[in-house]
Amino acid sequence: MHIVVCVKQVPDTKIIKINPKTNTLDRRSAPAILNPYDAHAVQAAVKIREETGGMISVLSMGPPQAVAIIKKSIEIGADRGYLISDRAFAGADTLATSYALSKALQKIANEEPIDLVICGKHAIDGDTGQVGPGIARRLDIPPITNVIEVSEVNKAEKTVLIKRKQISGYELIQTQLPCLLTVEKEINSILYSPLPNMLRAARYEPVIWAVSDLGEVDKTQLGLKGSPTIVGKMFTPPKLEGGKKLEGSSDEQVSQLMDILMERKDLLKLKETSTAN
Amino acid sequence: MMEEYRGVWVFIEENDGAIEGVSLELLGAGRKLAEKLEVPLSGILLGHEVTKLAKEVISYGADKVYVIDNPVLKDYRTESYMKGVIKLAETYKPEIFLYGATPNGKDLASAVATDLSTGLTADTTMLDVDIDKRLLEASRPAFGGNIMATILCKKHRPQMATVRPKVMKALEPDSNRQGSIIEETLNLKEEDMRTKVLKIVKELTKKTNLAEAHVIVCGGKGLGDIHGFQLIHEFADTIGASVGGTRDVVEAGWLPHEFQVGQTGETVTPKIYFAIGISGAIQHVVGMKNSELIIAINKDPGAPIFEVATYGIVGDALEILPKLIQQFKEMKTEKGGEISYA
Ligand SMILES: Cc1cc2nc3c(=O)[nH]c(=O)nc-3n(C[C@H](O)[C@H](O)[C@H](O)COP(=O)(O)OP(=O)(O)OC[C@H]3O[C@@H](n4cnc5c(N)ncnc54)[C@H](O)[C@@H]3O)c2cc1C
Ligand SMILES: Nc1ncnc2c1ncn2[C@@H]1O[C@H](COP(=O)(O)O)[C@@H](O)[C@H]1O
């Protein structure tokens, strides 16, 4: 089995700050991390490899600093890392991102055919979840999104069983390999990295490719040029008005609230069951 | 070229013979866009034995319904559904195409956008249109909800967006509305499908209860600790409401994660929403602000939750909740009645 996991470096949106004057992201305020869903994707690949043997490659598109998250993926258990990094990729939306990543995947597949591609459900900065299915379309393999369990990876039959989360409940899907999965957090919990992995990660240097290394690439489909969507404007969410504040002691506030609730017969009724008959 | 594309489309998601709520909401939102642009609104309905739902699509605002009814389309699969949708889009060329931001809607839209080489805005929460330029203005939370971004797709058609459930409003259905139903066929063979849906398991967990609940008592870190949070359970029990929590509460382990309300949790629209000990961070507010009546209890008068609350009580939840519970209990014994919700 050759599994490739697509991993992205993202600012930690939990602690991100927005410059209120310019409405732009203060990048220095947020440390760059491995997209949490992608960490689960690497972990899922490690589990599959335990059962089937084989190799895990990770692939990222980003600035040179993204080497850090490839190292992080090696810590979790990936064998190899590839980074595609070039000015020409800058400003890519999901369409241009899936194009660039699919070109790199084709190159990786030329070295070693790919059986499975795994992505995170979404990246916490862009928050779209569109790149995974986009890559699958470009490679013409089935995409299965919102995956919460992978089982029965059958190398001989080239099939795999998948639990896919749905609006309520889940569905059990059988699909052919190669395919592309996007994984939910529920799929596993991130384990502590074994020491040998940490040591290997510290020394690891990924393969870095520029556009010119990717073979035949249509440059008009890359980066800002290849992106049909643009950000028109940024604004802080509209402020809401707010209603009435109740005054007085806590007893008074509670009784006012009771009056308000009891008046809203359209929302809440007191059914007088005991007086029945 | 771009002028060939006219009309607003909504993908109609069907599950178990019923139309998903978000599709009806999108017909409501799509109606407004279509009227501004002076074009018809169409519903796109795929599945097996779904033609009967077309009338309902019209009653919720569509002028036309394009239907592909085929046994291979019984369960949602990317490969079969995208074929149908792409065929329709290439034949009839819509300028705007909306999908619900559900697992299937997002999956389908992502695949279709790739094949049509067009732009797709994810998880939109506001929709508008620039009439002169015929540009869809799809706005969505960015960077973890700290800010809103309006995404435009100027040079490619259709302009596509997935839209979050429960932020748009469906119209009142009108069974007298007239519309046309256009049936199309698709050449699909089961043998050609690379994926098979073996089983669909419905789990009607508490989570779906939360989304459907009429009354929610939602607690935040202001309850102090897991013991303080018991008051939330007690109050909810007394009035027959569902319990919810903020992300911080879930992360603290006071409540399982399926009870989280907000951007990364459930979006809820109950009749009555109690926000107790909740600061009202934007990521929380986006998940509950469309509730009909919002009552907030917070000891900080400057807490942003008061900006969305219909009624606010500035005070200590640990003191007020027991009193509120007491009042409701007394009322129930006095009148001997049960509380019910209209
Ligand atoms: C990407 C991202 C996604 C997120 N998604 C979600 C989400 O889906 N849902 C969500 O809820 N949050 C989400 N958050 C987190 C959100 O930003 C807030 O951190 C969170 O909602 C705060 O929870 P809280 O109100 O319980 O706690 P706090 O912010 O700590 O607020 C506690 C409040 O209780 C009040 N209080 C304290 N003691 C009392 C008392 N005795 N009586 C009355 N009031 C009292 C305080 O005045 C304060 O206002 C997300 C954040 C990010 C970055
Ligand atoms: N620049 C990138 N490099 C590698 N993988 C990416 C990149 N962008 C997105 N992905 C993958 O696609 C998934 C979904 O991202 P998104 O569609 O941006 O929400 C991520 O979890 C990654 O697995």
The per-residue pLDDT for range B210-220, each reduced to its tens digit, is 877 889 999 99
CB atoms near residue B221 (< 10 Å): 19
Mean pLDDT calculated for residue range B156-175: 94
Q: What is the mean pLDDT of residues B202-227?
A: 82
Q: Where are the domains of chain A?
A: 2-221, 244-277
What residue spans define the domains of chain B? 2-192, 210-334
pLDDT of residue A9: 96
Does ligand 2 come within 6 angstroms of the Cβ of A132?
yes
Average pLDDT over every residue of B95-107:
97
Report pLDDT for A125. Answer: 85
Using 70 as the pLDDT threshold, list the residues of chain A that sit under it: 16, 18, 20-28, 238-240, 269-277
Cross-chain Cβ contact B150/A233 below 8 Å: yes
Q: Which pLDDT does position A25 carry in this prediction?
A: 64
Can you tell me whether residue B197 is helix, strand or coil? strand
Q: Is the pLDDT of residue B195 over 90?
A: yes
Residue-wise pLDDT tens digits, B42-76? 999 999 999 999 999 999 999 999 999 999 999 99
Band (B178; pLDDT cuts 50, 70, 90): very high
Which chain A residues touch B141 with a CB distance below 8 Å? Answer: 127, 237
CA atoms within 13 A on the CB side of A275: 10
Distance of CA B217 from the midpoint of ligand 1 (Å): 15
**Cβ-proximal residues to B78 (8 Å cutoff; 6+ apart), any chain:** A133, A136, A142, A143, A144, B107, B108, B111, B195
Minimal Cβ distance to B341: which of A134, A241, A267: A267
Question: For atom 25 of ligand 1, which residue has the closest CA?
Answer: B278
In chain A, residues with a C-beta closer than 8 Å to the C-beta of B115 are 137
| Single-letter residue type at B97 | F
Q: CA–CA separation, A172 vs B198, rounded Å? A: 5
Decide if B2-192 and B210-334 have a common fold. Answer: yes
Q: What phi and psi values does residue A150 have, to the nearest 5 degrees?
A: -120, 130
- Which atom of ligand 1 is found nearest the CA of B297? 43
Distances (CA, A) of A35 to A118, A123, A252, B52, B145: 13, 6, 49, 44, 16
> Best substitution site from B250, B261, B278, B289 to test ligand 1's pocket, by max atoms within 8 Å of Cβ?
B278
CA distance to A166, B295, B341, per residue, from B287 (Å): 19, 15, 22
For ligand 2, atom 4, name the residue with the nearest CA: A60
Kindly give, in sequence order, each residue whose CB lies less than 8 Å from that of residue B234, ignoring residues fewer than 6 positions away: B321, B325
Within its chain, how far is the Cα of B196 from the centroid?
Answer: 27
Rounded to the nearest angstrom, the distance between the alpha carbon of A91 and the centre of ligand 2 is 14
In this prediction, residues B28-39 reach a mean pLDDT of: 98
Q: In testing the pocket of ligand 2, which one of A3, A9, A119 has its CB within 8 Å of the most ligand atoms?
A: A119
> pLDDT grade, residue B205 (50/70/90)?
low
Query: Which residues contact residue A205 at a Cβ distance below 8 angstroms, ignoring those fewer than 6 apart?
Result: A67
Residue B331 predicted with pLDDT over 60: yes
Q: Does A270 touch chain B (CB under 8 A)?
A: yes
Percent of chain B past pLDDT 90, that is, above it, reads: 80
The architecture that CATH gives domain B210-334 is 3-Layer(aba) Sandwich (3.40)
Q: Indicate which residue's Cα is closest to atom 29 of ligand 1.
A: B279
CA–CA dist B279, B296 (Å, integer): 10
Q: What is residue B264's predicted lDDT score, i.e. its pLDDT? A: 84
Give me the amino acid identity at A176: Q
Q: What is the pLDDT of residue B148?
A: 87
Query: From the CB of A6, is ligand 2 less than 6 Å away?
Result: yes
Cβ atoms < 10 Å from Cβ of B21: 18
Strand order in the sheet with B96-100: B120-124, B159-163, B96-100, B8-12, B41-47, B64-69, B180-184
Instruction: Give the pLDDT confidence of B284-296 residue by residue, as tens digits.
Output: 998 898 898 999 9
Distance (Å, whole) CA B28 – CA A187: 36
Q: What is the CATH number of domain B2-192?
A: 3.40.50.620
CB atoms within 10 A of CB B334: 9
**What is d(CA A217, CA A222) in angstroms, rounded to the nearest whole number?**
9
Please tell me what DSSP assigns to residue A236. Answer: P
CA B245 to ligand 2 centroid distance, Å: 29
Peptide bond into A206 cis (omega under 30): no
Q: Which atom of ligand 2 lies at the shortest distance from residue A118's CA? A: 23
Over 90: is that where the pLDDT of B167 sits?
no
Min Cα distance B159 → chain A (Å) is: 9
| Residue B158 preceded by cis peptide, ω within 30 | yes
Q: How many helices (H) and strands (E) does chain A have?
A: 6, 16
- Cα distance between residue B228 and residue A143, in whole Å: 45
The label of the residue with tokens 């291979």 reads B72
Q: Rounded to the nearest whole angstrom, what is the distance from the C-alpha of residue B295 to the centroid of ligand 1?
A: 16
Atom in ligand 1 nearest the alpha carbon of residue B224: 38
Among 3.30.70.2860, 2.60.120.460, 3.40.50.620, 3.40.47.10, name the CATH number for the domain at A2-221: 3.40.50.620
Nearest alpha carbon to residue A100 among A218, A8, A3, A5 = A218
> CA neighbours within 13 Å on the CB side: how many for B6?
7
**What ipTM was predicted for this assembly?**
0.86
**Strands B195-201 and B242-245, sheet pairing:** unpaired
Residues within 6 Å of ligand 1 by CB: A 13-14; B 144-145, 220-222, 246-249, 260-265, 277-279, 281, 283-284, 287, 297-300, 303, 316-318
Report chain A residues whose CB lies below 8 A from the CB of B82.
137
Q: Taking CB atoms and an 8 Å limit, are A146 and B107 in contact across chains?
A: yes
Residues of chain B with Cβ-Cβ distance to A269 below 8 Å are 339-342
pTM of the complete model: 0.86
Which pLDDT belongs to residue B227? Answer: 95
